[in-house]
Structure 1
Amino acid sequence: MQNVSDFIVKRLDQWGIRRVFGYPGDGINGLMAAFGRTDLPLEFVQTRHEETAALMACAHAKFTGQVGVCVATSGPGAIHLANGLYDARMDHQPVVAIVGQQARSALGTNYQQEVDLHSLFKDVARDFVHTASTPTQLRHLIDRALRIAMERRSVTCIILPNDVQTLPAVEAPPREHGTTHTGIGYTHHANVPDAHALRNAADVLNKGERVAMLVGAGAIGAEEELRQVADVLGAGVAKALLGKPALDDRLPYVTGSIGMLGTQPSWELMNGCDTLLMVGTAFPYSEFLPPEGQARAVQIDRDGSMLNLRYPVEVGLVGDARQTLQALVPFLESRSDDAWRKRIEGLVSEWWRKMEARAMVDADPVNPQRVFWELSPRLPDDSIITCDSGTAANWYARDIKLRPGMQASLSGGLATMGCGVPYALAAKLASPGRPVFALVGDGAMQMNGLNELITIADRWRDWQNPTLVVMVLNNGDLNEVTWEQRAEGDPRVDVTQRLPPFPYAEYGRMLGLHGMRVDRPDRIASAWEEALSADRPVVLEVVVDPNVPPLPPHIPWKQARAYFQALSKDDERGSVLRSTLKQWWAGR
């Protein structure tokens, strides 16, 4: 006889869910047993930690467009999910968490592992968090959790007391008062604003002489439309970090990333424009947008609550980015004067020349920028790239040129450490035929990456294409925070910043993976070639100089003064100052 847990597995399968990430425990064992009984094509992926299960569910949603599902036991298991769930919420990804709870009769008695899960999840899963108390509820709880996650691109949560998990299932609620009857049917939207709104937006854009575009993750999948609009308006295009895959980095008018991790052309674009078109972005740092009042603005977003959030816009269009841009194009007027576009293209060309020069500057022992610069032209066309938080994100943002057909992501809104390897593993499980690259710092690697290498070692033989490269920047330092300390006027604090040494490549080899350690710049290119041709996943450990600065595109005098004050007290001041001057001078 089918029980509640069997029904949950069946219902998830009916919704098209093919992969659930999680970790077992007695609070969720009824559901674990159902995974053992089913012959449905629904895979349970055992991760090394509940946090990485939630991060993988988020990455699955990012790379497939489907709902990510993660499972954890009661108490500590549920608590561990929180970080990955916040990553999904802040990057607007649909994720459903199914968590165990103590038996209904024990609730309220300070029972072992009894946690107030409603209070725990009421923020991260604020759109939907409910506890199953009877089998009759399960159909609508599963249906509602999945539908709301998809509709609102948010996190939802179902709490399952362990005694409910093994009760006899109810396929369909009775037709009586107090019951509800949900379904799985598709939901269709009107994804394009009306003609009047489009004309108003076009009127603003057509009057601009120096148009800038800022695109984010919501614009991914609209590359052709973005190019068409940019060409008609003669615009330059900057990209929020999550929107990096939205447009080909090789286009001469694409200025690259924006913000502290951004480029000089993006800074010039925003400060020189008189009109701004934002598409699918919630980029948070207003100081990198045009000064308020300088530019007239139009914004496109599928979520109306995100309009007019970062910059005052005259016309906000609620709709799908691709379809709205398609509908907008007929109302736009081509530019006869291309001086603005040519100026932007000149800045972009000069920037790429400078990036190459900076990447080739000598360092002790390896310049981290060069690791990314050498990878970029070697990336296969169908690559999936994940990046962790830290200085790796700086070099990913600036030195990697993404091309059409590639996918890439990192933790955007939350900017959590420890996501890079879990993201890469989820991407590989979803697309086993595609090459995947995780670009990770040693701090993030010691957090979560080392653990999920165990999972990679366990599963890689099932993959159609074994190429999964985990590149670790080994500088022995929590480097991003070190630079943040210096920018705030404080010297590096060794007791907080130093990382314990660890043999990453050797550890990879111990697990049966291919491990390489590089500590000379002339070995970087051949190491990438070797990694790409390896017959198994690779741990590529590169020993890099922690004193190469990730120079921001604009340094206010106050920040520069604080930086040099910090260096005067810093134990590494000589090396840091030399590296800073070399980077500043490169390409000039």
Structure 2
Amino acid sequence: MLVSDFILSRMAEWGIERLFGYPGDGINGILGAMNRQDRIRFIQARHEESAAFMACAHAKFTGRTGVCLATSGPGAIHLLNGLYDARMDHQPVVAVVGQQRRMSLGSNYQQEVDLVSLFKDVAHEYVQMVTVPSQTRQVIDRAFRIASEKRTVTVVIVPLDVQEEKMEQTPKRTHGNVVTGVGHSFAKTIPTYEELKNAAAILNQSERVAILVGAGAFGAEEEVSQIAELLGAGVAKALLGKMVLPDDLPYVTGSIGMLGTKPSWELMEGCDTLLMIGSSFPYAEYLPEPGKARGIQIDSDAQRLSIRYPMEVNLLGDSKATLQRLIPLLQYKSDRSWRKEVEKQVAKWKEVVESRAMQPADPINPQRVVMELSQRLPDKCIVSADSGTCAFWYARNLTCRRGMKGSLSGNLASMGPAVPYAIAAKFAYPDRIPIALVGDGAMQMICMNELITIAKYWKEWENPGLLVVVFNNCDLNMVTWEQRILSGEAKYEASQDIPDVPYAEFAKLLGLAGMRVEEEDEIGPALDSLLDAGRPAVLDVVTDPNVPIVPSHISMENLSNYFKALMKGDAEQFPMIRQTIRELMQGGIA
């Protein structure tokens, strides 16, 4: 057995079934070992960045560690963006990276990069280079154990000559040798009874409770619903927590923040107590004003407690286990006036969202696309969204149901992960239908190439359904609106305009299904056709870039910047004004 064989067999013992990567001579030893075993499958991405996104998505959708593989030098460097996506969204990912032969290191050799230094930030919990075969066991074991325990990124660097050396079958019991084992026990931290009593006392005294859930609340869905019913509370969702509770519950106010809803804004403005569960939502301006509401936070990481809002009680613990012990201490609130007000606002907001989606645009309102899609979402589908205005419509307009999954690049907010996420979802759940919402900027940046990956593998999938919806407006639209609203600058066409690309025709060239839609009445029939196409499909929708991303709350500064941009002669000022007026006439702005 060579070191490379051992690495793969050890990964299999850690439960790894597939790894995502791209070949290169710096990992020839590992690729050779892949060819000598059948326990782990290699999934070939078009780019190492996509491979890292896929590993992150695998972790997000399955709860298990994702693995990506890249060669030395440029291959390793390409991993970084996807690895930062995993680290910043607290996902367990192990990257295995090649390196030049040991005798070449320090000679300014071709593709020689100081990989330990390169990965030191993204994998600050554990990055290690294997320098002798006897070190391999403990480095692999520690990388997987730390990634799993800390929910973070770890990196293992293996020089090519080490990959090709023989591995001792049985570790020697000698001084200095570290002999490790496989396996990790997941302990659930639980706050003390006194801490739970203090939290319950505050919640029992409160009259208007607002709950904010994030990705850390996954697995505690029933408990969150139960506590919301007991307290008569409304529940807002951070972007990564969008799928924690379905949107058809009358007390779920939807997303929070700039991409959020008016009911979520009003929930935070009107509450007297904030209960934050498994979230590190960063934007303080969308939380209650400090001092106007009491605060309780539940999180499994002490570093994330009380860093977004001055919490009165900080409960360090697993969300599900903590809520299970908190619930018996809570009193049912017979006064449901706060709940009734929340539900009234939610119902009103849904009418606003629908009426906005039905407003005419030139040629298609992107909100209409997501509304039509929401009505047709397959059961247990897995939705991924890219960064940009499509994330805005995902957050605000997509109606999720129980059993669905969904995610996007949350804290990094990187362009490019939507299609890699969908691919990873498909390999993890071959019977489900992934749906990727992608802006044309992200499509051109990296996602078009990953259609080739889909074309490579789709015929083996149990259910070949997979849909990519491209919001084609020939504009890097989110930044365009940020220039206007945040900076008071007119659209800079040289940086913002991008080419019109026939995405559906490209999909057809690859043997996939594809349709281009330029009329609103064509959206529904096109979705019906592509969701039933019997193969992966691309819907290329020509959307209006001047439909504004209206925040749930417009500050005077944002409004002032908007008018400054108009006064500076924005090239799209007249259609922009028209669409903004249409949006504002529908109400829903705080």
Choose which of 327, 335, 338 in structure 1 pairs with 2:336: 338
Partner SS, residue 179 of structure 1: coil
Choose which of 302, 305, 327 in structure 2 pairs with 1:304: 302
1:67 is aligned to 65
Partner SS, residue 163 of structure 1: helix
For 1:199 and 1:179, the matched residues in 2 are separated by 48
For 2:82 and 2:351, the matched residues in 1 are separated by 38
Is the 8 Å Cα contact of residues 99 and 157 (structure 2) preserved in structure 1?
A: yes
Letter in 1 for 2:557: K
1:162 is aligned to 160
User: CA offsets, 1:195-252, max 9 Å, x none?
Assistant: 2221111111111111000000000121111110001111111000000000111111
Partner SS, residue 472 of structure 1: strand
1:579 is aligned to 579
For 2:409 and 2:91, the matched residues in 1 are separated by 11
Letter in 2 for 1:489: G
Partner SS, residue 125 of structure 2: coil
For 1:378 and 1:183, the matched residues in 2 are separated by 48
Offset at residue 75 of structure 1 (A): 0.5
For 2:350 and 2:564, the matched residues in 1 are separated by 31
For 1:505 and 1:227, the matched residues in 2 are separated by 41
2:476 is aligned to 478
Q: Kindly report which structure 2 residues correspond to 1:92-491, keeping only aligned pairs within 5 A, or say none.
A: 92-487=90-485, 488-491=487-490
For 2:183 and 2:488, the matched residues in 1 are separated by 57
For 1:112 and 1:3, the matched residues in 2 are separated by 25
1:22 is aligned to 21
Partner SS, residue 378 of structure 1: coil
181-190 or 492-501, which deviates more: 181-190
2:505 is aligned to 506
Is the 8 Å Cα contact of residues 439 and 471 (structure 2) preserved in structure 1?
A: yes
User: CA offsets, 1:481-514, max 9 Å, x none?
Assistant: 0000011210001100001121000000010000
1:34 is aligned to 33
Is the 8 Å Cα contact of residues 94 and 153 (structure 1) preserved in structure 2?
A: yes
For 1:48 and 1:327, the matched residues in 2 are separated by 47
User: CA offsets, 1:420-447, max 9 Å, x none?
Assistant: 0000001001111001100000000001
Partner SS, residue 452 of structure 1: helix
User: CA offsets, 1:120-155, max 9 Å, x none?
Assistant: 000000000011011101111110000000000000
User: TM-score when scaled to structure 2?
Assistant: 0.98
Is the 8 Å Cα contact of residues 145 and 184 (structure 2) preserved in structure 1?
A: no
For 1:112 and 1:305, the matched residues in 2 are separated by 41
Partner SS, residue 224 of structure 2: helix
Partner SS, residue 432 of structure 1: coil
1:529 is aligned to 528
Offset at residue 521 of structure 1 (A): 0.4
Residues matched between the structures, number? 586
For 1:303 and 1:404, the matched residues in 2 are separated by 27
Is the 8 Å Cα contact of residues 548 and 580 (structure 1) preserved in structure 2?
A: yes
Is the 8 Å Cα contact of residues 215 and 279 (structure 1) preserved in structure 2?
A: yes
Choose which of 42, 45, 50 in structure 2 pairs with 1:44: 42
Is 2:496 aligned against 1:497? yes
For 2:393 and 2:420, the matched residues in 1 are separated by 20
Is the 8 Å Cα contact of residues 67 and 150 (structure 1) preserved in structure 2?
A: yes
For 2:578 and 2:138, the matched residues in 1 are separated by 63
For 2:13 and 2:21, the matched residues in 1 are separated by 20
Is the 8 Å Cα contact of residues 172 and 181 (structure 1) preserved in structure 2?
A: no
For 2:175 and 2:549, the matched residues in 1 are separated by 63
Letter in 2 for 1:332: L
Offset at residue 479 of structure 1 (A): 0.2
Gaps of 5+ in 2: none
Partner SS, residue 577 of structure 2: helix
Partner SS, residue 246 of structure 1: coil
Is the 8 Å Cα contact of residues 145 and 183 (structure 2) preserved in structure 1?
A: no
For 2:577 and 2:401, the matched residues in 1 are separated by 35
For 1:415 and 1:405, the matched residues in 2 are separated by 25
Partner SS, residue 164 of structure 1: helix
For 2:287 and 2:38, the matched residues in 1 are separated by 53
Is the 8 Å Cα contact of residues 514 and 537 (structure 1) preserved in structure 2?
A: yes
CA shift in 2, pair 1:249/1:463, >3 Å: same
Partner SS, residue 255 of structure 1: strand
User: CA offsets, 1:286-312, max 9 Å, x none?
Assistant: 110000111111100111111011001
Letter in 1 for 2:9: K
For 2:183 and 2:587, the matched residues in 1 are separated by 57
Letter in 1 for 2:584: W
For 2:316 and 2:560, the matched residues in 1 are separated by 43
Letter in 1 for 2:262: Q
Supply the RMSD in Å over aligned alpha carbons: 0.9
1:86 is aligned to 84
Offset at residue 192 of structure 1 (A): 2.0
Letter in 1 for 2:579: S
Following TM superposition, where does structure 1 have runs of at least 4 consecutive aligned residues deviating by more than 4 angstroms?
none
User: TM-score when scaled to structure 1?
Assistant: 0.99
Partner SS, residue 297 of structure 2: strand
For 1:443 and 1:285, the matched residues in 2 are separated by 25
Aligned-pair identity in percent equals 59
Offset at residue 406 of structure 1 (A): 0.3
Gaps of 5+ in 1: none
Partner SS, residue 582 of structure 1: helix
Partner SS, residue 242 of structure 2: helix
For 2:38 and 2:434, the matched residues in 1 are separated by 29
For 1:12 and 1:171, the matched residues in 2 are separated by 16
Letter in 2 for 1:157: V
Letter in 1 for 2:562: Y
Offset at residue 587 of structure 1 (A): 5.6
For 2:523 and 2:451, the matched residues in 1 are separated by 22
For 2:180 and 2:282, the matched residues in 1 are separated by 38
117-126 or 183-192, which deviates more: 183-192
Is the 8 Å Cα contact of residues 139 and 172 (structure 1) preserved in structure 2?
A: no
Is the 8 Å Cα contact of residues 15 and 184 (structure 1) preserved in structure 2?
A: yes
For 1:523 and 1:586, the matched residues in 2 are separated by 24
Partner SS, residue 316 of structure 1: strand
For 2:510 and 2:422, the matched residues in 1 are separated by 18
1:567 is aligned to 566
Is the 8 Å Cα contact of residues 211 and 275 (structure 1) preserved in structure 2?
A: yes
For 2:393 and 2:58, the matched residues in 1 are separated by 24
Is the 8 Å Cα contact of residues 353 and 587 (structure 1) preserved in structure 2?
A: no
Is the 8 Å Cα contact of residues 128 and 157 (structure 1) preserved in structure 2?
A: yes
